Structure 1
């Protein structure tokens, strides 16, 4: 069985408070984009996990796809499988690629072995793997709150917009991203801003991590400026970085970035 786990972007990201458990509460709109990995799962004589594409740091045995398999294996008699992950979505970019891989693994395994898990059950398993994993089960725009794992559906359709995502190859860890964040309660919820025209978002819809990370990595601010110069209606860092995206109603002008940057462009 072959599937294509997709990335997401954050439309606004507010870090609202530090939690007693050490995590942070946040508010953001998660929106799916079509920058995809490829994940194939087939029954096998013995468990195997292989990868291709972008190199993934760390021990492959700790990959979230395998963790998803072992999580289900605790509750179901799953036979061995061979998983192959072709990695296209960059890591440490704020695009949720690893979380998507894990969520799609859960969905594939449920379908492949006829576990008949509904979306709510799959989300509960996904939350055990990572804060935003559960988003990719339904894979529709939501307002995410608490740790980013509690969702409220939102009426938002950006169809017809071209999204350009630029990843400069800077891997930002979660610890680094949150290290200089000062949580603050917003005066207005993100959902109210999303009801306004996209061209207004530049003035009202912000990612709190930009203030903390742009001084340390000025190239991120440069990318954002270039996207606006090319005609973006809205541009922002996604997640805790370091990918920057722009939303264009008209086909964007030529964009020129250093050769080691990764770029994705597609319709939403």
Structure 2
């Protein structure tokens, strides 16, 4: 099976409280995007009694420190730390028959980017291997969650309203869109970002914005009314990100000045994106932001 392990963007992200298990509750809309990692998975049944096997062949197209970060967990580094290898190990005991798995991965999704990265790869891998296991649909989500909080989303194929720690998914409709993704030459530590929010243990509470999601906000997402959403669906991590990396605040302003109708940090960062009214306007804006931020890597995407 050869396809694209898609990345994702967050449209709005609220962290209402810290849970008793030490994790954080979230409210967000996850949207899969066209930018991702090409992956080819080959599966070969083995003879009874043979042990399942795993092979990864990767091409690293990342830049800067992220290149080295991926190399550390690739087949050229410590493979046991690789998320695909971890997923294989978790699945091995559930296989209906022994199989040999060979993966060819072209790595473009940046780690520490907030757009899926390894979680996307793991979700794509699980979707292809689940049919070879005894796991029921109900058992697949907990296993995916045990690999990473975002992994269950990448078992889906549509945008979702996301709650819990990222594993409670409600598919929703989002209008088609065109965007520019900025990949800064620096990352933002997820743990440091959560610490910066200083969320205390408390009982769940609702935000008026998110309570109304099923009404006005969902309708706006369905028709692509980004002007309405612009100041209503915000990423709570932005206030920490702007303090940590002021360049990101300039980048958001740059997206809007180049014609974006919505711009936001994705996840806990550091990737930032802008959404534009059309492919033509997006492509024109790409030239503008590329000139304004020459040290930034930019990718176009659609959804």
* TM-score, normalised with respect to structure 1: 0.90
The separation in 2 between residues aligned to 1:14 and 1:214, in whole angstroms, is 16
For residue 227 of structure 1, report the CA deviation from its aligned partner. Answer: 0.6
Matched, 1:256 2:289: yes
1:52 — aligned with what?
Answer: 59
Structure 1 match to 2:106: 86
Partner of 1:210: 238
Q: Which residue number corresponds to residue 129 of structure 1?
A: 147
Give the equivalent residue in structure 2 for 1:180.
196
CA distance in 1, matches of 2:118, 2:82: 8
Range with bigger deviation, 98-107 or 43-52 = 43-52
Determine which structure has the larger helix proportion and give its number.
2
- Can you give the 5+ residue segments of structure 1 that lack an aligned partner in the other structure? none
Question: What runs of 5+ residues in structure 2 fail to find an aligned partner?
Answer: 47-52, 200-204
Q: Which residue does the alignment assign to 1:67? A: 86
CA radius of gyration, larger in: 2
**CA–CA separation in structure 2 for the residues paired with 1:43 and 1:152:** 31
The separation in 2 between residues aligned to 1:266 and 1:226, in whole angstroms, is: 18
TM-score for both structures, normalised by structure 2: 0.80
Q: Pick one of 206, 214, 228 that aligns with 1:200.
A: 228
Structure 1 residues 1-268: aligned runs within 5 Å: 1-43=1-43, 46-53=53-60, 54=62, 55=67, 56=70, 57-58=72-73, 59-76=78-95, 77-111=97-131, 114-115=132-133, 120-154=138-172, 156-159=173-176, 161-183=177-199, 185-189=206-210, 191=213, 192-196=216-220, 197-250=225-278, 251-252=281-282, 253=285, 254-257=287-290, 258-268=293-303
Does the 8 Å CA contact 1:17/1:185 hold for their aligned counterparts?
no
Matched residue of 2:237: which SS? helix
Query: What CA RMSD, in Å, does the superposition of the two structures yield over aligned residues?
Result: 2.1
CA, structure 1 residues 266+188, in 2 after alignment: closer, same or farther (shift >3 Å)?
closer
Q: In structure 1, what is the equivalent of residue 50 of structure 2? A: none
Q: Shift of the alpha carbon at 1:248?
A: 0.7
| Cα deviations by residue, 1:181-240 (Å, 9 ceiling, x for unpaired) | 144852321624343321121221110000111111011111111110011111000000
1:123 CA drift (Å): 2.7
For residues 246 and 118 of structure 1, the distance between their equivalents in structure 2, rounded to whole angstroms, comes to 39
Question: Does the 8 Å CA contact 2:56/2:102 hold for their aligned counterparts?
Answer: yes
